[in-house]
């Protein structure tokens, strides 16, 4: 079914709650796994349908935040879902506490129960008002960014569109574009700081009411950290600081020399070559045609997948006014299909997001027959392995998108995966410091960001931009506002994806087979177990970062800088 034919109808929550309560009563009374499983499957079908309705609203609201109907529905779910969470938690509690859990493990993966334990540790009915407030603040942030109307020369641009101007070959244009973008953030500085200040206090209050020392502890349960903790992440960040920050400095120094500049300014960082960055050739429709060709040639599985996406219009790819920023993939459970959302703006990022989100969507497609909603997708850091690895598996077909700029793109994309790691670690470190010090003022938070930025990203030069010197760059990072503590997941996955890439360069015939296998597993295993199953090294292990840097350096040396 095409996406626009998928019908949304708001469920009657009173009827649904009553029906779910009856099912849960029966589930609680079940005295064996045989009696338990049919009820369990019925409940999951109901849960999947509710999730489908909510997902349709979220997609359509993000496509057009000015649509009054879906704006109303989105607000309704912001307010309703935290209360409904009580039903979800009762379901989880019954499953986790079932006296015949050992028998249930024959039909339900262990990960489901571990996720359930995290859910029970991260929710309590007394924080419902705070969850409602958190949802509203997240929506407020998204709408504020989507409202951007930035005057630039003879145009009025949104944030995605102004981003394309930041890589213009004319240095003056790049500076004006960057300054125009940051002028929007500076104009709304008080609003961004107010939203985040309220978010920090709401989340910290949640943690306090549930008996945690601070929000960091609660966040690790909310993020389903099944087999690692904050101390392990801190050690991992130190690995990045030791190996990846110097690597990033070296990459940007080569860029400065290529461009022939005395100093690489803040508005130069995204501009990589004297004759312009790698730019995809063709209209959005032509890029989609190239993607269809690529995935048909990649494997039979990816060919079937891309036909499903294309024939059923299961994506919205191009930037428009009133469309939310960013990109994502989500699952429409009733239809056993994914949906891709992005903001094409005519830059190489369009291909990054297309292959990245296709990686998420392909995993969803390969594990579509896992009928427990909680484990269709794995936990976040594992999800990102599929997406980031797909970016690399797509490398042999980049000529379809970039033509004469193919070599530029391959070099830039690989460098970008390395320079991203210190930034990702910075975002995580910043959030840890913020939530360990919830009493900080907005100025304190900005000072913290700038201090950590100088540590992780010492190559950044903000001379002439007081907004960035003040430490406000982070306003534009959605995850800090809307998905706290998510960002380190990207870096963990990136280190895994780089290992797949190394295996590709060595012509390892098992690399693609292991990737397909990883996708079919969905969320039936925890992060470290999935990494082992794919025959990769767990990023926390000493020496992992050093080995990855050396292998990728050898690949980058094959290019004529």
CA 263 remoteness from chain centre: 32
Residue 182 near residue 467, CB atoms below 8 Å: yes
Radius of gyration of the chain (CA): 23
Average pLDDT, the chain: 95
Nearest one of 178, 63, 47, 34 to 112, comparing CA atoms: 47
| pLDDT tier for residue 114 given thresholds of 50, 70 and 90 | very high
CA separation (Å) from 271 to 83, 136, 276, 327, 351? Answer: 48, 37, 7, 22, 17
How confident is the model over 349-380, as pLDDT tens digits?
A: 899 889 999 999 999 999 999 999 999 999 99
- pLDDT band of residue 469 (cuts 50, 70, 90) is very high
- Quote the pLDDT of residue 326: 84
Confidence of residue 185 (pLDDT cuts 50, 70, 90): very high
Average pLDDT over residues 276-291: 94
Domain ranges of the chain: 3-119
Residue 346: per-residue pLDDT: 86
Distances (CA, A) of 95 to 20, 29, 30, 32: 14, 12, 11, 12
Identify the band that residue 164 occupies on the pLDDT scale cut at 50, 70 and 90.
Answer: confident
Phi-psi region of 231 (alpha: psi -120 to 50; beta: other; left: phi over 0): alpha
Q: What percent of the chain has pLDDT over 90?
A: 94
pLDDT in tens, 27-67: 999 999 999 999 999 999 999 999 999 999 999 999 999 99
- In angstroms, the CA 359 to CA 368 distance is 14
3-class state of residue 262 by DSSP: coil
Q: Which of 417, 455, 448, 502 is nearest to 246 (CA)?
A: 455
pLDDT of 348 reads 87
Q: Is there a contact between 168 and 174 (Cβ–Cβ < 8 Å)?
A: yes
pLDDT tens string 490-517:
999 999 999 999 999 999 999 999 999 9
DSSP string computed for 475-517 = GG-HHHHHSTT-THHHHHHHHHHHHHHHHHHTT-THHHHHHHH
Q: Which of 320-334, 387-401, 409-423 shows the lowest per-residue confidence on average (mean pLDDT)?
A: 320-334
Pair 40, 113: CB distance under 8 Å: no
Are 345 and 164 spatial neighbours (Cβ–Cβ below 8 Å)? yes
Q: What is the pLDDT of residue 136?
A: 94
Predicted TM-score of the model (pTM): 0.90
């Amino acid at each position: 079914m095409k996406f626009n034919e998928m019908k949304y109808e708001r469920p009657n929550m009173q009827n649904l709650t009553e029906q779910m309560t009856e099912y849960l009563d029966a589930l609680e009374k079940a005295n064996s796994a045989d009696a338990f499983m049919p009820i369990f499957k019925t409940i999951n079908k109901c849960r999947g349908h509710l999730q489908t309705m909510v997902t349709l609203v979220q997609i359509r609201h993000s496509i057009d935040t000015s649509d009054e109907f879906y704006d109303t529905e989105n607000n309704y779910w912001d307010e309703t879902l935290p209360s409904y969470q009580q039903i979800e938690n009762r379901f989880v509690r019954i499953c986790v506490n079932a006296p015949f859990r050992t028998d249930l493990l024959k039909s339900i993966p262990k990960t489901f129960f571990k996720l359930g334990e995290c859910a029970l540790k991260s929710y309590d009915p007394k924080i419902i008002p705070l969850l409602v407030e958190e949802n509203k603040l997240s929506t407020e942030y998204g709408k504020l960014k989507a409202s951007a109307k930035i005057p630039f020369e003879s145009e009025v641009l949104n944030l995605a569109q102004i981003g394309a101007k930041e890589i213009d070959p004319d240095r003056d244009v790049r500076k004006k574009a960057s300054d125009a973008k940051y002028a929007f953030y500076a104009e709304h500085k008080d609003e961004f700081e107010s939203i985040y200040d309220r978010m920090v206090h709401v989340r910290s209050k949640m943690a306090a009411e549930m008996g945690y020392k601070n929000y960091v502890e609660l966040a690790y349960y909310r993020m389903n950290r099944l087999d690692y903790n904050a101390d392990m992440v801190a050690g991992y960040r130190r690995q990045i600081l030791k190996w990846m920050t110097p690597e990033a400095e070296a990459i940007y120094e080569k860029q400065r020399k290529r461009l022939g500049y005395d100093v690489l300014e803040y508005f130069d960082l995204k501009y990589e070559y004297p004759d312009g960055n790698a730019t995809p050739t063709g209209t959005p429709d032509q890029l989609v045609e190239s993607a269809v060709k690529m995935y048909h040639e990649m494997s039979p599985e990816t060919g079937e997948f891309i036909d499903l996406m294309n024939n059923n219009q299961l994506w919205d790819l191009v930037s428009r006014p009133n469309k939310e920023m960013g990109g994502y993939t989500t699952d429409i459970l009733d239809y056993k299909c994914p949906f891709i959302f992005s903001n094409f703006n005519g830059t190489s990022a369009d291909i990054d997001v297309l292959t990245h989100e296709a990686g998420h969507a392909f995993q969803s497609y390969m594990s579509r027959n896992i009928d427990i909603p909680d484990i269709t997708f794995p936990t976040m850091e594992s999800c990102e392995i599929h997406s980031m690895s797909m970016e690399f598996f797509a490398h042999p077909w980049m000529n379809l998108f970039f033509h004469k700029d193919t070599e530029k793109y391959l070099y830039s994309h690989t460098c970008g995966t390395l320079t991203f790691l210190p930034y990702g670690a910075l975002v995580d470190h910043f959030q840890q410091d913020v939530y360990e010090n919830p009493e900080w003022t907005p100025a304190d938070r900005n000072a913290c960001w700038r201090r950590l930025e100088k540590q992780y990203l010492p190559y950044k030069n903000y001379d002439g931009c007081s907004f960035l010197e003040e430490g406000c760059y982070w306003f534009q990072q959605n995850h800090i506002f809307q998905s706290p503590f998510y960002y380190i997941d990207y870096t963990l996955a990136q280190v895994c994806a780089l290992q797949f890439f190394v295996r590709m360069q060595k012509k390892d015939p098992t690399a693609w087979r292991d990737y397909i296998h990883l996708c079919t597993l969905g969320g039936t295993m925890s992060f470290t177990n999935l990494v082992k199953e794919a025959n990769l090294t767990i990023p926390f292990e000493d020496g992992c970062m050093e080995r990855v840097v050396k292998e990728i350096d050898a690949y980058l040396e094959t290019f004529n800088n």
